[in-house]
Chains A and B, each alone.
Chain A
Amino acid sequence: AQKVTQAQTEISVVEKEDVTLDCVYETRDTTYYLFWYKQPPSGELVFLIRRNSFDEQNEISGRYSWNFQKSTSSFNFTITASQVVDSAVYFCALSSMDSNYQLIWGAGTKLIIKP
């Protein structure tokens, strides 16, 4: 069975602090894809990143970085120097051929950045 766990229900930090959102996944497929989406209060889901299972290189995009560790089945997301506009619910998701590329979603982490 495939599963995505985001153990942090809610995180609150003060602006400019760094924050890491955890994501742990389970799958028996050897080829799979991991995603992060952002859902701001407006409600629209915004695609942030996709990572293939065969590419363990970490990625940095501006203040965002992602740490993919197959050994621990984790795909964590770090925001450096957080800003109030980063406040949103962040979802981690998994897809693979076994799921017909349907997204298996974590429960989401609500991130609150206080000014």
Chain B
Amino acid sequence: DTGVSQDPRHKITKRGQNVTFRCDPISEHNRLYWYRQTLGQGPEFLTYFQNEAQLEKSRLLSDRFSAERPKGSFSTLEIQRTEQGDSAMYLCASSHINEQFFGPGTRLTVL
């Protein structure tokens, strides 16, 4: 399978814990995006990378959120001191120029 993959698919955590998600993009894609989606809403942009450089971050990305793409391949999104409001689907997408192809998402539930 050469699509975008995300791990884990589901994560349940207690409030205050840290969580980390991983995204493996399509190998030849140099752009990687993170989105958050809550029920009944469209995806909200969080951040994006071109190769290993993080070029833009949304105001939605508070100081508790950090993302990395250390070698321009896979990316991680970490949420520190999780809050119940962080419960959502976290989507990763990759692209070469235009079409973004999405992974299956990581559904986070914060208890």
The 8 A CB mask of A42-67 against B (1 = contact, 0 = none) is 11111100100000000000000000
Interface residues in chain A, defined as those with a beta carbon under 8 Å from any beta carbon in chain B: 33, 35, 37, 42-47, 50, 91, 95, 100-103, 105-108
Let me know if B104 and A43 touch, CB within 8 A. yes
Question: Is B8 interfacial (CB 8 A cutoff)?
Answer: no
Provide the bound-state CA to CA distance between A42 and B105, in Å: 10
Cβ of A25 to closest chain B Cβ, rounded Å: 14
Provide the bound-state CA to CA distance between A91 and B35, in Å: 14
Most chain A CB neighbours (cut-off 10 Å) among B41, B42, B101, B103: B42
Select B43's contact among A42, A46, A50, A105, beta carbons within 8 Å. A105
Question: Would you list 10 pairs from A and B whose C-beta atoms are within 8 A, ordered by A residue?
Answer: A35-B99, A37-B102, A47-B100, A91-B42, A91-B43, A102-B45, A102-B48, A105-B43, A107-B42, A108-B42
B-side interface residues, number (CB < 8 Å): 23
Report how many A-B pairs have Cβ atoms within 8 Å: 49
Let me know if B98 and A95 touch, CB within 8 A. yes
Let me know if A103 and B100 touch, CB within 8 A. yes
Residues of B within 8 A of A43 (CB): 89, 104-105, 107
Dominant secondary structure at the A interface = loop
Let me know if B56 and A102 touch, CB within 8 A. yes
Provide the bound-state CA to CA distance between A44 and B95, in Å: 16
| CB-based nearest B residue for A95 | B98
List of 6 A-B pairs having minimum Cβ-Cβ separation, nearest first = A105-B42, A45-B102, A44-B104, A50-B99, A33-B98, A108-B42
Residues of B within 8 A of A101 (CB): 31, 95, 97-98
